[in-house]
Amino acid sequence: MGKKGTIFIVSGPSGAGKSTILNEILKTFPNLVYSVSYTTRSPRSNERNGVHYHFISKDIFLEKITGGEWAEWAEVHGQFYGTLAGDLNRAIDTGLDVILDIDVKGAKQLKTSYPEAVLIFITPPSMEKLRERLIKRGTDTPEEIERRLINAQKEMSVIDKYHYVIINDRLDQAISELKRIIERYHADKKVGTSIRHPSCA
């Protein structure tokens, strides 16, 4: 049997630049697939089923909770979000690497189920920079921006639970840093040894 793929879990506050970084990373590594989450909320006008999310009914989501099918899941503002264990297992069993963009609570659940997963936190250089980015983005009301900043502080309080921390001050440097992390695990897989994660709590 071939060597299993690696799971890379990426977390970070809204506005830290995760989506932009991941889009570049996915162009670089053909053996790396993005894990599309499932949700019970309705798609927004610019969202496509199977690309941004898998949109399913609440009844189906709850059935899968009962069946123990979720690798991680959460209820947020009355809607459910989750990652199917079957999707992850099928990918890594065939040797593919999987990268997920999930919050710190989901990351904690996945770390329990997949202790070999690599945890990466992407953070802005400062809260002030994060505020500037959220305002510049122009998609949130002032109240939503304040809520996102409060959530960001909560997420950044568990940064020590991650193996790697990338400070996204300059986008090109942040992309290069994540590339180097992934390349370390790819090189390790080729020679057939097991890389030791940096220690985290």
Cα dist from 116 to 4, 67, 170, whole Å: 11, 24, 29
Q: Is residue 77 part of a domain?
A: yes
Q: Enter the pTM of the model.
A: 0.88
Q: Is residue 1 part of a domain?
A: no
Of 50, 105, 39, the closest CA to residue 72 belongs to 105
Contact status, residue 14 vs residue 148, Cβ threshold 8 Å: yes
Q: What is the pLDDT along the chain (201 residues), one digit of tens a residue?
A: 568 999 999 999 989 999 999 999 999 999 999 999 999 999 988 899 999 999 999 999 999 999 999 999 999 878 999 999 999 999 999 999 999 999 999 999 999 999 999 999 999 999 999 999 999 988 889 999 999 999 999 999 999 999 999 999 999 999 999 999 999 988 776 655 555 667 665
Angle value at C-alpha 72, between 69 and 75, nearest 5 degrees: 105
Structural domain containing residue 45: 7-191
Q: CATH no. for residue 72?
A: 3.40.50.300
Residue that has been written with the tokens 């409060």 in this structure: 150
Structural domains counted in the chain:
1
Q: Is residue 198 part of a domain?
A: no
Q: Is residue 196 part of a domain?
A: no
Q: Is residue 108 part of a domain?
A: yes
Q: Is 71 helix (H, G, I), strand (E, B) or coil?
A: strand
Q: Measure the CA–CA gap between 186 and 172, rounded to whole angstroms.
A: 21
